[in-house]
Amino acid sequence: RARAGCSRVGGRLALEDGKSRWISVSDKHSPYGYISPQLRGQSGYTLDGRAEAVNVPDDAASDAIAYDGRAVLDASGSATAELSMTVSGGRASAFRQFLVPAAESKRVDLFEREVMSSTLGNCRVVGYKLANLKNYDSPLTVRLSAKCTDMFTRAGDGVLLRALFPIDVAQLAALPEREAPYLRRQTFIGNIHYEVIVPESLKMPASLPAVTMGQGLFKVDVRDRVEGHAIIIDRAVEMPIARIAP
């Protein structure tokens, strides 16, 4: 058994074929074989009388989120948007804990507060579909239809598009220097591919800046681009749970 604090408990099951399987036992919505980030890489011991030392596997591939979809802007800055979000691992478990017992009105509120506000901004969800809500061993997919406002603002002769799908890495360098370690408590492994259709009346930029940065396990790859009258948001992010020394 391995333990982090008092709420994260994992165990290693011995299988009939001589192999073993690590599982989390503190979350009923987790997929079979899932280990929470707080337990990965930790040391533990067997409870079979031998007290054999063991290490929990360090595999974050199951904690992932992917976005795709399309938004069509009008000349006022409003948009009709479709957004598909597929989540697995701990993120899917967190969503299921709320969605499974929640009434429809509560679900819409969650989608607007936790999904739309952090991706497309000020949006009103007008419809949704769920796939694999109670199939815990498969990724959870949420498909949202929304009406969005203030997707861009006028700036002189041009317009400024709202920052969509913001990647917040500023917290890692909030101070010029630190005297204490920084603890990142959540893993984020994400892929974003989203298309924003811009009205023909608006002038498009010639190109968008591409950025690739990273150190160790932290990686951010921004490949945003312009294709005709569409802005393609294309990004990949890996930010695992970590203890970062000063």
User: pLDDT confidence of 146, banded at 50, 70, 90?
Assistant: very high
pLDDT at 172 over 70: no
Beta-sheet pairing, 8-14 with 20-24:
antiparallel
Structure confidence by residue, pLDDT tens digits, 215-245: 777 888 999 999 999 999 999 988 776 666 6
Taking Cα atoms as reference points, which of 24, 63, 20 lies closest to residue 42?
A: 24
Report, as an integer, the average pLDDT of 95-99. Answer: 91
Residues whose CB is less than 8 angstroms from the CB of residue 172 and which lie 6 or more positions away in sequence, other chains included = 182, 184, 218, 244
**Mean pLDDT for all residues in the chain:** 82
Do the beta carbons of residue 8 and residue 24 sit within 8 Å?
A: yes
User: pLDDT confidence of 4, banded at 50, 70, 90?
Assistant: very low
Q: Which residues of 190-200 are buried (b: 16+ CB within 10 A; e: fewer)?
A: bbbebbbbbee
**Which residue did the predictor score with more confidence, 4 or 65?**
65
User: pLDDT confidence of 30, banded at 50, 70, 90?
Assistant: confident
Structure confidence by residue, pLDDT tens digits, 109-126: 999 999 999 899 999 999
Do the beta carbons of residue 195 and residue 70 sit within 8 Å?
A: yes
Report residue 180: phi and psi, to 5°: -125, 155
**Which residue did the predictor score with more confidence, 33 or 117?**
117
Token pair for 237: 């992010």
Among 13-17, 66-70, 212-216, the range with the most confident prediction by mean pLDDT is 66-70
Confidence at residue 82, expressed as pLDDT on a 0 to 100 scale: 98
Confidence at residue 173, expressed as pLDDT on a 0 to 100 scale: 60
Supply the pTM of this predicted model: 0.78
Q: For tokens 């969509």, what's the residue?
A: 164
Cα 154 to chain center, whole Å? 31
pLDDT at 6 over 60: no
